[in-house]
Amino acid sequence: SFYENKCYDSAIFYAKEFLKIPGDKFYCDVYDVLFKCYKMKNDLDNAQKYLFKSLDKGYNGMKDNIVCDTNPILNSYLIFNKEINAEIKFRFYQNQNFAKNDSLIHLLFTLIKYDQVCRANTDPKYTAGIDNPDSVRKKWSAIDSFNLNVIKSIIIKYGWPGYSILGWEGDNNLWALVQHADKDVIFQKEVLELIGKSLLVNNTNRRNYAYLLDRVCMNINGTQLFGTQVRYADSTRFELFPLQDEINVEYFRHAFHLLSLKEYINYYKEHFHLKK
């Protein structure tokens, strides 16, 4: 009632008092109230904080009245989340083989789908105003910053969740978001160590470890071990970043279940219609 009467400070106070009560049966709804209150107060940091808490506890209604007009990235994300909710339910809620956190899977699936749509410029609803290279880079940068805040909160809470919590696809989606987190190489390096430990107990994908290791090395010194990272000479040509060990690269790739370098290059050329 405080929220409905626009008494946002009072609503925030009592919502936080409610959170002190043991048990978390209604936390999802309380986090949603806090999100909406902070959104109305234009406190974006706290609005995002409680949005993510709400999602983590299972809220996925995404009604129109909670769209945040103060942040176009958050606004687009919420609209996108609402639209693909049915697909998420079909793919995950009906197939809970060994994944244990559906709400977290839901969140990661939405983030990576939105990331892919924006990078591919496939839907004008989410890519408005990005019709030149500078605008594209700014949009991608904003999305990466937004995603980075989310995945940091996940890593802080779970470490590397792995297959046991996320299932195969959820694990892959979280890795892909970390792979794009080039703004914080220290964070990427820390996550790499967590993935390495998870790999020892077969709780994640060794190929993803190889890709992230190359990404970290590329960001630090411009070289790579497995030969997974490329750069573009122009719109039709690409080249591999320098290899640390050209003699043994095929051995490293085989050990981590990667295609041979020749097969990988040919796949890259065909898939993206490029020349090497």
> pLDDT at position 83, please?
53
- Give the global pTM: 0.65
> pLDDT at position 185, please?
93
| Burial zone of 86 (CB within 10 Å; 0-12 exposed, 13-18 middle, 19+ buried) | exposed
Per-position pLDDT tens, the chain of length 276: 677 777 888 888 888 888 877 765 556 678 778 878 887 887 877 776 777 676 655 544 443 333 344 445 555 555 555 555 545 444 444 444 444 677 788 888 888 888 877 766 544 554 445 455 566 667 777 888 888 988 998 998 889 999 889 888 899 999 999 999 998 999 999 999 999 989 888 899 999 999 999 999 999 999 999 999 988 776 667 789 999 999 989 988 988 888 899 999 888 777 666 665
Closest listed residue to residue 146, CA positions, set 123, 102, 180? 180
Question: Facing residues of 5 across strands?
Answer: none
Contacts of 163 (CB under 8 A, 6+ apart): 98, 99, 171, 202, 203, 204
Question: Facing residues of 239 across strands?
Answer: 231
Q: What HEC string does the chain produce?
A: CCCCCCCHHHHHHHHHHHHCCCCCCCHHHHHHHHHHHHHHCCCHHHHHHHHHHHHHCCCCCCCHHHCCCCCHHHHHHHHHHHHCHHHHHHHHHCCCCCCCCHHHHHHHHHHHHHHHHHHHCCCHHHHCCCCCHHHHHHHHHHHHHHHHHHHHHHHHHHCCCHHHHHHHHHHHHHHHHHHCCCCCHHHHHHHHHHHHHHHHCCCCCHHHHHHHHHHHHHHHHCCECCCCCEEECCCCEEEECCECCCCCHHHHHHHCCCCCHHHHHHHHHHHHCCEC
> pLDDT at position 94, please?
43
Q: State how far the Cα of 163 lies from the Cα of 172, in Å rounded to an integer.
A: 9
Burial 191-229 (b: 16+ CB within 10 A, else e): bbebbeebbeeebbbebbbbbbbbbbbbbeeeebbbbbb
Q: Cα angle vertex 99, ends 96, 103, to 5°?
A: 90
> pLDDT at position 42, please?
78
Contact 117, 80 (CB under 8 A): yes
Could you tell me whether strands 230-232 and 238-240 are parallel, antiparallel, or unpaired per DSSP bridges? antiparallel
Q: Write out pLDDT tens, residues 138-157.
A: 777 788 888 898 899 899 88
Q: Write out pLDDT tens, residues 70-106.
A: 445 555 555 555 555 545 444 444 444 444 677 788 8
Contact 62, 82 (CB under 8 A): yes
The torsion angle over the Cα atoms of residues 121, 127, 130 and 133, rounded to 10 degrees, is -30
